[in-house]
Amino acid sequence: MRTPLFKFILLFFVALVYLNSCKFSGGNQDLKKTENKWIEEFTITQLQQGYYEGKYTIKDVVSLYIARIAEIDRNGPQLNSIIEINPDAIQIAEQLDYELTAGKIRGHLHGIPVILKDNIDTHDRMPTTAGATALRNSFPPTDSFVARKLREAGAVIIGKANMSEWANFRSSMSSSGWSGIGGQTKNPYVLDRNPCGSSSGSAVAVSANLCMIAIGTETNGSIMCPSNNNGVVGLKPTVGLISRSGIIPISFTQDTPGPMGRTVEDVAITLGALTGIDSTDLKTLNSAGSYLTDYTKFLRKDGANGKRIGLYKKSMGFSHKVDTLMYKAIEDLKANGAEVVEIEFPEGESYGEASLNVLLYEFKDGLNKYLVRLGDNTPVKSLKELIEFNKLDTIELRYFDQEILEMAEKKGGLESSEYKNALAKTLKATRGNGIDRVMDKYQLDAIIAPTGSPAWKTDLLLGDHDSGGSSSLPAKAGYPAITVPMGFINDLPVGITFFGKAWSEPLLFEIAYSYEQGTRHRKKPKYIVSD
């Protein structure tokens, strides 16, 4: 079988041949590799307006993005954010162009180039690997719910993003953004800094303008942290708002896919295309009456006006520079009419061990079911076989061990009283005695906190060196959170998080959009090489 690198090189040359032979319909200029900067920082609305006005075709734009990936991700700065390019991307773009000229618009993402994290199934000529060599040649039998909804909305899935292998649920000493398949992803702002994870490649691809939008997944910080480190907007929806069917699982309780983009508007547009009830994911049944197909109506510049927002002060204090930006953000919110009050969460019973047990039990159960579903597409049919495979592989244990996989394998089934008690304890602490209780007590519309620290230096020997962060509480509760760029510390971006109760995405969009439009901290990366 041809390797992904071979397929990438082949597709790259196909793209170059095309780029050297076609012209803009509007500007009558040759489309060359060095002329792809015009798409930088484009929004979904701007791109589609150009399609409708006939300035360029979907095929033009998809070809440019593919050439840009070759130029920046594989050559140049070598970001290493993309594992696989879709060999059918140009053909898909041509079909969408045909439909556009015929007056058929599939949906809000018609012609929009999208990158998927490589733990999201696509039923095409791209494997779904979770970054693991054991799944190198794993071609799922069906599209994930997310991939299907994207295609129905007219998106062009142009490739798969690198990620922290097994979504960072393998070793406690690992480096975020490293996988056995893709190697180490780099931060586009400062190349020796870490992109965080596990949706590393998704965030980097969006930030470096290698796609218009990307889809990541989160169990605990895997959308929020890489969005913070790479200066983009990331949304972790309420668990159940978007189906997880066809996504390599960690936790039935906490897993969720979510959109990552350069603007709040692009994220809102994408979310509306992904929601809906899915009978194969029971969590989505809870979204009945709460999910929407259009969140753009909540994008108001005065959206923060009159909102009562709680400052999660306990999440601060890990960096005085981050605190300084946070207090400036508070003043910006107040200037837009918001009321910001300091809040305290009750000192309840510790639930860290219980939360980990929930993940260990659910990972074993979910992964075993996923691997069985793949049939003969993979050399491993269970978590136990995966562990043994890794021991014999020349890549997988080169830098990091697999103690988390081994801890999960020792767990029993979901009928275990240890699991049930751990789940009840975690949800009670983070929901009833956590976010719900505090928001009711202080009569809040949302809670704010710094998303995390500036990116640390990548370290393949000792693993991540991150400090601070606020993703765990909403992640463990299964509640929504959105991060927006808040400013820079030296050359590195940091974000502010807005989170709240279940199904409160409309409120969060109102506040986050108002903050973004009033501050506009997003800056494209410069690929700095440290001294």
* Count of other CB atoms within 10 angstroms of residue 84: 26
Rounded alpha-carbon distances, angstroms, from residue 276 to 139, 355, 451 = 25, 28, 28
- Please name the residue that has the structure tokens 């807005």: 498
321 within 8 A of 216, measured Cβ to Cβ: no
Sheet arrangement for strand 446-450: 82-85, 156-161, 113-117, 213-218, 256-261, 233-236, 481-489, 492-499, 446-450, 308-312, 339-343
Rounded alpha-carbon distances, angstroms, from residue 312 to 330, 453, 507, 516 = 12, 16, 18, 20
Nearest to 241 by CA among 225, 255, 220: 255
Residue-wise pLDDT tens digits, 191-215:
999 999 999 999 999 999 999 999 9
pLDDT at 482: 99
399 pLDDT more than 70? yes
Mind listing the domains of the chain with CATH numbers?
43-53+78-525 (3.90.1300.10)
Rounded Cα distance, 358 and 351, in Å:
11
pLDDT at 377: 85
Rounded Cα distance, 501 and 432, in Å:
11
| Beta-sheet pairing, 213-218 with 183-184 | unpaired
325 within 8 A of 228, measured Cβ to Cβ: no
164 pLDDT more than 70? yes
Tell me whether residue 25 is one of the annotated catalytic residues: no
pLDDT at 374: 95
pLDDT at 35: 64
14 pLDDT more than 80? no
pLDDT at 20: 40
Nearest to 188 by CA among 218, 232, 224: 232
Please give the structure tokens belonging to residue 57.
Answer: 């075709």
171 within 8 A of 510, measured Cβ to Cβ: no
Nearest to 48 by CA among 115, 116, 117, 96: 96
Residue-wise pLDDT tens digits, 57-79:
999 999 999 999 999 999 999 99
Specify the DSSP class assigned to residue 303.
T
Nearest to 464 by CA among 473, 451, 476, 455: 455
Give one DSSP letter per residue of 163-213, joined into a string. -SGGGG-S-TTPPTTEETTTEE---SSBTTB---SSSHHHHHHHHTTSSSE
Nearest to 364 by CA among 429, 401, 416: 416
Give one DSSP letter per residue of 420-489, joined into a string. HHHHHHHHIIIIIIIIHHHHHHHT-SEEEEE--PPPPBP-TTT---------HHHHHHT--EEEEEEEEE
Residue of 222, 251, 453, 471 marked active site: 222
User: What mean pLDDT, rounded, does the chain reach?
Assistant: 93
Tell me whether residue 198 is one of the annotated catalytic residues: yes
Nearest to 86 by CA among 18, 35, 15: 15
> Side-chain half-sphere of 176: how many Cα atoms within 13 Å?
28
Least confident segment among 344-348, 385-389, 525-529? 344-348
CA 37 to the chain's CA centroid: 24
Q: 162 — phi, psi (to 5°)?
A: -65, 160
Instruction: Give the predicted TM-score (pTM) of the model.
Output: 0.94
Confidence of residue 270 (pLDDT cuts 50, 70, 90): very high
Residue-wise pLDDT tens digits, 34-57:
467 889 999 999 999 999 999 999
Give one DSSP letter per residue of 478-504, joined into a string. T--EEEEEEEEETTEEEEEEEE-STT-
Q: Which helix (H) or strand (E) holds 161?
A: strand 156-161
> Side-chain half-sphere of 426: how many Cα atoms within 13 Å?
23
Residue of 63, 81, 117, 355 marked active site: 117
Rounded Cα distance, 112 and 238, in Å:
24
Residue of 81, 175, 176, 198 marked active site: 198
Rounded Cα distance, 152 and 106, in Å:
6
23 pLDDT more than 90? no
Tell me whether residue 172 is one of the annotated catalytic residues: no
pLDDT at 509: 99
- Rounded mean pLDDT of 106-122? 98
Rounded Cα distance, 336 and 195, in Å:
31
Nearest to 217 by CA among 194, 195, 242, 187: 242
